Structure 1
Amino acid sequence: MVESAGDVRAEDIVFDPPAEFAAQAVATADLYARAAADRLGFWADQARSLLHWHAPFTEVLDWSDAPFARWFGDGRLNVAYNCLDRHVLAGHGDRVALLWEGEPGDSRRITYAELTAEVKRAANLLTALGVEAGDRVAIYLPMIPEAIIAMLAVARIGAVHSVVFGGFSAESLRARIEDAEAKLVITADGGWRRGKVSPLKPAVDAALAGGGTTVEKVLVVKRAWDDSEQLAWTDGRDLWWHEELAQVDWEHEAQPFEAENPLFILYTSGTTGKPKGIFHTSGGYLTQSAYTHRNVFDLHPDRDVYWCTADVGWVTGHTYVVYGPLANGATSVIYEGTPDAPKPGRWWALIEKYGVTQLYTAPTAIRSFMKAGREIPQQYDLSSLRLLGSVGEPINPEAWLWYREVIGGGRTPVVDTWWQTETGAIMVSPLPGVTAAKPGSAQVPLPGIVVDVLDDTGAPVGRNESGLLAIPEPWPSMLRGIWGDPHRFHETYWSRFSDGPSGPVYFAGDGARRDHDGDIWLLGRVDDVMNVAGHRLSTAEIESALVSHPWVAEAAVVGASDETTGQAVVAFVIPRARHADEAAREGGVDELRAHVASSIGPIARPRELFLVNELPKTRSGKIMRRLLRDAAEGRELGDTTTLTDATVMKAIADRVRH
C-alpha cells in the first residue's frame, strides 16, 4: 500500500482489475463502443432488457420541450411489479430480498415472495384510505422493512412518495409535507439509535400541530416502544399500521402507468431558503437505476449479498437500497443503527454474519473507521467482500487506499461514484472489471452518459485543468423538475451555460479537474471553492492534503472572510488516536499547516487550524461546513437540528472563540 500520495501523485497510482474478477465481470469494455455508436439505441436496449413493460415504448426520448425530458414516454410499466412480482413469476420467490438487522439485534429474512405479499397488502391499505394515483404520501420512518414496503406500495398504486429522513426536525417535516401537499403520513413510534429510542411520531404530531395541512391520516408502525401509552393519539387521524393491514386483502394486481408518471419527490436538505422538491418519474429512473446497479457493482443476483449503508431518506437509499437492487433481484442487507452501536465494529460483524460481497458507503464513514484504527475491522472475517464502493462526496486518496487495503484485503476493486439527487443514478464511475482504478478519482462517465468539464465560458478544459462539471446530453434518470416550481428548476440547473448542440446544458454545481489521462477528479461543490487572494482553492483538495499526513484521521476545511485576501483557509482536524499527543504538542499545528503548503502551495496554508475531537455531521454522515463557517467567522450558529450531536458544534464554536 502507498501510505501517502505526498511523494507520488495519486493520479499516477493505478490498480488494474484483478484478472479473475475481470474474467467474470458483468460489464465489459464493449459497452462503451455500443453506447458511443448509438446512445439512444443503447438506452432503449437497456430499458427493454432490464425491465418488464406492460405496454412497450416506441419513442426513446422526447427532448422537444427541453429541459423537460420524456424518456420512453409512450411505454407503460409498474415500478413495484418490476421490483417484485416478476421475480416471483420467474421462479425466484424463495430468494431472499432483504436481510434486515435492527440495532438491538432483532432481525428478519424476507424473501421476494414474502415482500411481494406485504407490498400487495399495503397497496390495498393505501387504496382503502383513499390514496389514488398521483396523490402524495410522506414517509418518515427508520431503516426498517416497513420503510421499503411503504415506498413500493405507494409506487404500486401510481402515487408519489416523499421520504423524509428521520433525522429532520418537525419544522423541516412540515415544510416538506406542505410543499408536496401530502394526503397521508406513514411514520413509526420511533427507531433505535445508539441504544436509545429516537422518537418519530411526536415529531409528526408537532409538524401537523395547528392544522392547515392536507394530511388526512397518519399510519404508525409499532417499532420501538412496548408501552404505546407514551404516544399522543389523535382519534380519527392516527391509525396503527398493523391493525389496519389486518383488515385488508392480500391480493392486488399491479396496474401499468405511463413511464413519465411521477414516482417520488425528494427534498434537498435546504440549509437556507425553501427546500427544493426534486421529482423523478418511473421508466427512465428505473432503467438507469437497474443498469448502474448491475454494472457498477458487478451484480450476480444468484450469489451476491449486497449492502448499501445509506438511509432511504436520501437518494442513495432510494436508488441503491430500494429500486436498483430489487429491480435486479438482488439480496440486500438493511441495517437500522449506527456503525458503532452497541460497540465499534458492528458493520464488520454484519459483513461477517451475512457474507456481504459488495459494500457501498460514504467517505465520511471510511475516514471515521480510519480514525478508530484498523485493529477493529481486522478482528472480523471480511473475506467475502469482492467489491467496495464510495458515494456522497469526493474521497481523498488516503481514505481510498485504506479502504482497499484494510477492508478489501488489498484485492478488491473500488468504485468511486459521482452522482446527485438530481441525476437520480450514478453518472461517473469506474467499471470494476474494465477500468484501471485511480485512488480518489471517479474517472469516466458510464457508457451512455455524456459529462464534460467546462470553463466559465462553457468551453471544455484541457488536460491537467480544472473547471465546472456539466452534462450536455439528457440521461434517463434525470430530474424532471422542482415540484411546483418550473422557473426555479430552469434557473437553478440550466441557466449557467448557453445551449449546446443538443439543447440546454445541465450544471451540476460541482467543480472538477481532468488529469493528464483525461480522467475526472471531483473537487466538491463550487460553493465549497474558496477565492484566496484571487486563487481558486478547493476545500476537498486541502482536506485531502491534510488527511495524507499520518497524524490526521479526518479534516474539514472552510473559507472564512479575510480583510486582506478576501477569504482565508480555516481547517478543523481530528487527529488519529495514536498521534493525538504529537499533533497537540507545541509546533504540531504549525507542522500540519506547513504540510498543506508543501502539498498544494503556500497559498493553501490554513490561516488557522483547530484540533477537534469530532466534526459536526448530519445523521447521513455529511459534514455541516456551513456551521463550521459560522464558527470561523464568529457568527451565531445556524440551525443545528439535523446534527447527530449538537454538542459537537457547540464545543468547536467555544474552542474557536477562546
Structure 2
Amino acid sequence: MSEAYAKAWRDSINQPEHFWSQAAQAVDWMSPPARSFDEAEGWYPGGTLNTCHNCVDRHVAAGRGGVTALAYDSPVTGVVHRYSYAELLDEVGRVAAMLAALGVAKGDRVVLYMPMIPQTVFAMLACARLGAVHSVVFGGFAPLELAKRIDDASPTLLLTASCGIEGARTIPYKPLVDEALRLAHHQVERVVLFQRDTGPVADISSPRDLDWDTLRAATHSDPAPAPVEVASSDPLYILYTSGTTGTPKGVVRDNGGHAVALAWSMANIYDIGAGDVFWAASDVGWVVGHSYIVYAPLLVGATTVLFEGKPIGTPDPGTFWRTIDRHGVKTFFTAPTAIRAVRKEDPDATFLKEIGTGQCRTIFLAGERADPDTIGWLEDKSGLPVIDHWWQTELGWPALASCVALGDLRRKRGSAGFPVPGYEFAVVVDEGGHPVETGQSGAVVIRAPLAPGVFRTLWNNHAGYQKNFATFPGWYETGDAGFIDDEGFVHIMGRTDDIINVAGHRLSTGQMEQIVASVDGVAEGAVIGADDAIKGMIPVAFVVARAGVESEQALHDAVIKAVRSELGAVAALKTCYVVPALPKTRSGKILRNLLRKIVNGEAVAIPPTIDDPAVPDMLLARVRAHAEV
C-alpha cells in the first residue's frame, strides 16, 4: 500500500470536509461554497458554477485553445476529426444559441436521442451551458422505452439524428422518435434533427420538426450565450437506468459534487491531466460515456476520444489497438466483454503484436466483473497493467479501484481493488444485517453519506432513492454481492440475487463464472441459478467457445469437471450449454436474468437494451432440445 493512497483514504473518511474542500480547488466557482457538505443541501452548499465553463471556456481563457479537446474516430464511416478547445467552444456556443432561440432555459429538460457523433457532445455541453438538464437516451432504444423517459423527464425539446450506426447495422432514428412521441403522454414542443452524411434521409415534414443545420444557420449571427450560473446542487443531467419494476429510474447528477469528483478521479485514479489523451470505449448513452467520454477528460483539459465503432468487425479485432496508437492514448478504459470479444476473434493477439499499444500506460476495465483469465490474457499480450474497477450509474465515478497517481498499483485478478478515497466499504453484511466473516459472501454496502458526485435523489421519485438506505440504516445498499478477502481486496461477484441456495448451501455464481472462464477453450461464460424441485436451486452454465474449439461436448465436460474440482460436488453444476452467443445489452452486460427465465421456462420479454434480439430464441431452442433428450 502506498502512503499517499493510505493518507488520502484516511483523510477522506476522517476529515471529509477538509479533504473535499481541497479537491474543490480544481474547479472554477462563480461563488465559492460556504462549506464542503451539508446533510440537507448536499455537497458544496452555497456554491455556484457552470460545468460547461469548467469543461471548455476556462481552458481557452488559459491560453490552451489550440490543444485538441475532442478526437472523433468513426471506423464505421471512415471519418477522423479533431476539435481543439477553441473549436469546441465555438461549436458548443452555436448549439447553445440554437437551443436558446427555441426558448430552452435554466431548469428545462432536453432529451437527446443521438448516436456517437460530435454533435451529441456539443449538445450535452450546450445544455450545461444554459443550465438546462439533459437526459441522454441510448440511441436505438425501442420507442416505448424512449416514451417512458420522455414522460418522466417532461422535456421541452428532443434532439436526435437521422440514424445510428452499430457495426454493419444502420438504425434510422426518426421513425423510432415519431413512434415514441405517439406513445408518450407528454407532448414535446420541438424535435431538432441532425441529418448525417451517411444513412437514410430523415423525414422532418411535421410542424414540430426542425432541421439542425437550418436552425444553426438561422442563429449563426446570434451571440453565443454566456455560461449560466447554477447552484452546486442543481441538476446537470438525468440518466435513466433499469428499474426492477420495469419503470426506468432517473438518476439525478448535481453540478458541483460531480465536477469535483470527476476532476479528482482523472488526476488520481487514471493519472490524466491537461494535454493527456484518454479514451473510454463506451457510449454517451451510458454513465461511463457521461462521466469519462464527455465531462471528466474535459474538466481537466485532456483530450477525449469519441469512438463510433465496435471492438471487432470495424474492421477487425485490431480496431482498439489501432485507435490507441492513432491518437496517442495514455489511459484506455473499456468493458471486459469487449476484450473477450477481441480475444475470441484473435486468441493469439496477432493484431496486438503487429500494431502495439503506442503510448498507452494503463488499461482499466469496468461495466461487469472482469474474470481473472481475461485480465491475465490482456496483461500477458499487452504488457500493460490491467486494472479492474467498480462503480454504478448511481455512483457516477469509481468506488473501487487502484489509484494509479497515488502510487497504488496493487491488484489481484478477480478483485475490483480497494475503496477509492471518499468511499467506505466497512463491512459486507448478510441478509440479517450482520457482518460476515472475512472471505464470505454477502451484500456489499457503502457507508453514508456518500461521496461527492454520487446521486442524492431520483427524478420524481425521492422515495425510491431512500429505499437504497432502508435495508441497512446508515449504509447504501449497492445491490451487489461480494466479499472482502484477508488482504482487504474487495471482490464484487455479481448482483445479490446471484447468490444461490443449493440444498442449503449458499454459493456464488460469480465464483463459478470465474472458474468457467479459466477453462481452456471458453471465450466467455455466464452461470445462473435455475429453480430445482429437489435442491431449491441449481447452477446452470452457458459458455461461448473460442475460435478453433472442435468439440462442444469436450468443452462441456471440461467446464463441469473444473467447477467440481474447485468447488466440490456441492456446486452441483451438471448442465452447461455451449452456445454461439450470450444475450447482452448494447453496453456489453450479460443479461443473466433473461438466461434464468429461459432455463426456468418463464415467459421471456425481449428487453429493449438487447444487442441481438435473435439470441434469446436461439437459447430457448437449445434449452428445450436439451430438456427433450
TM-score bracket for this pair, using the shorter chain length: over 0.9
Q: Residue 95 in 1 paired to residue 81 in 2?
A: no
Other structure's SS at 1:452 match: coil
Partner residue, 1:494: 469
| Cα separation, 1, equivalents of 2:588 and 2:352 | 19
On the 8 A contact 1:104/1:195 being kept in 2, the answer is no
Q: Residue 581 in 1 paired to residue 553 in 2?
A: no
Higher relative contact order (CA 8 A, sep 6+): 1
Q: Residue 242 in 1 paired to residue 216 in 2?
A: no
Q: Residue 631 in 1 paired to residue 605 in 2?
A: no
| Cα separation, 2, equivalents of 1:453 and 1:310 | 31
Other structure's SS at 1:581 match: coil
Partner residue, 1:152: 125
Shift of 1:357: 1.7
Partner residue, 2:565: 598
On the 8 A contact 2:311/2:341 being kept in 1, the answer is no
Partner residue, 1:446: 420
Q: Which moved more, 1:74-83 or 1:549-558?
A: 549-558
| Cα separation, 1, equivalents of 2:498 and 2:16 | 33
Partner residue, 1:138: 111
Partner residue, 1:35: 12
Other structure's SS at 2:427 match: strand
Q: Which moved more, 1:601-610 or 1:476-485?
A: 601-610
Other structure's SS at 1:84 match: helix
Q: Which moved more, 1:519-528 or 1:249-258?
A: 249-258
- Equivalent position amino acid for 1:442 in 2: A
Partner residue, 1:517: 487
Other structure's SS at 2:513 match: helix
Shift of 1:29: 5.3
- Structure-2 change in CA distance of 1:455 and 1:640 (3 Å): closer
2:372 corresponds to which of 392, 397, 404: 397
Q: Residue 56 in 1 paired to residue 32 in 2?
A: yes
Other structure's SS at 2:401 match: coil
Shift of 1:394: 1.6
Partner residue, 2:256: 283
Tell me the matched-pair count.
615
Question: What whole-Å deviation, never above 9, does each CA across 1:517-551 have from its counterpart, x for those lacking one?
Answer: 12211111102222211222222211111011112
Partner residue, 2:443: 468
Q: Residue 650 in 1 paired to residue 591 in 2?
A: no
1:375 corresponds to which of 350, 359, 374: 350
Partner residue, 1:308: 280
**1:294-305 superposed matches below 5 A:** 294-302=267-275, 304-305=276-277
Question: What whole-Å deviation, never above 9, does each CA across 1:123-181 have from its counterpart, x for those lacking one?
Answer: 12111111121111111111111111111111111111111011311110000000111
1:220 corresponds to which of 178, 193, 197: 193
Where structure 2 has 5 or more consecutive residues not aligned to the other structure, the ranges are: none
- Structure-2 change in CA distance of 1:145 and 1:649 (3 Å): same
| Cα separation, 2, equivalents of 1:497 and 1:211 | 37
Other structure's SS at 1:400 match: helix
Question: What whole-Å deviation, never above 9, does each CA across 1:310-345 have from its counterpart, x for those lacking one?
Answer: 101011111111111110111111111212223332
1:505 corresponds to which of 465, 471, 475: 475
On the 8 A contact 1:514/1:520 being kept in 2, the answer is yes
| Cα separation, 1, equivalents of 2:158 and 2:217 | 19
Partner residue, 1:188: 161
- Equivalent position amino acid for 2:208 in 1: R
Shift of 1:595: 0.6
| Cα separation, 2, equivalents of 1:72 and 1:627 | 42
Q: TM-score, normalised by structure 2?
A: 0.94
1:268 corresponds to which of 219, 238, 241: 241
| Cα separation, 1, equivalents of 2:121 and 2:534 | 53
Shift of 1:300: 3.4
On the 8 A contact 2:145/2:608 being kept in 1, the answer is no
Q: TM-score, normalised by structure 1?
A: 0.90
Other structure's SS at 2:350 match: coil
- Structure-2 change in CA distance of 1:619 and 1:226 (3 Å): closer
**1:45-124 superposed matches below 5 A:** 45-48=22-25, 50-63=26-39, 65=40, 70-102=42-74, 103-124=76-97
| Cα separation, 2, equivalents of 1:153 and 1:355 | 28
Partner residue, 2:171: 198
- Structure-2 change in CA distance of 1:614 and 1:55 (3 Å): same
| Cα separation, 2, equivalents of 1:653 and 1:505 | 40
Where structure 1 has 5 or more consecutive residues not aligned to the other structure, the ranges are: 1-15, 499-503
Q: Residue 323 in 1 paired to residue 302 in 2?
A: no
- Structure-2 change in CA distance of 1:211 and 1:435 (3 Å): closer
Question: What is the percentage of aligned positions where both structures have the same residue?
Answer: 40
On the 8 A contact 2:501/2:537 being kept in 1, the answer is yes
Q: Residue 546 in 1 paired to residue 520 in 2?
A: no
| Cα separation, 2, equivalents of 1:192 and 1:598 | 45
Q: Which moved more, 1:370-379 or 1:272-281?
A: 370-379
Question: What whole-Å deviation, never above 9, does each CA across 1:75-104 have from its counterpart, x for those lacking one?
Answer: 000010000000111111111011101222
Q: Which moved more, 1:326-335 or 1:623-632?
A: 623-632
- Structure-2 change in CA distance of 1:319 and 1:552 (3 Å): same
Shift of 1:196: 3.4
Partner residue, 1:12: none
Q: Residue 44 in 1 paired to residue 21 in 2?
A: yes
| Cα separation, 1, equivalents of 2:120 and 2:365 | 24
Other structure's SS at 1:376 match: helix
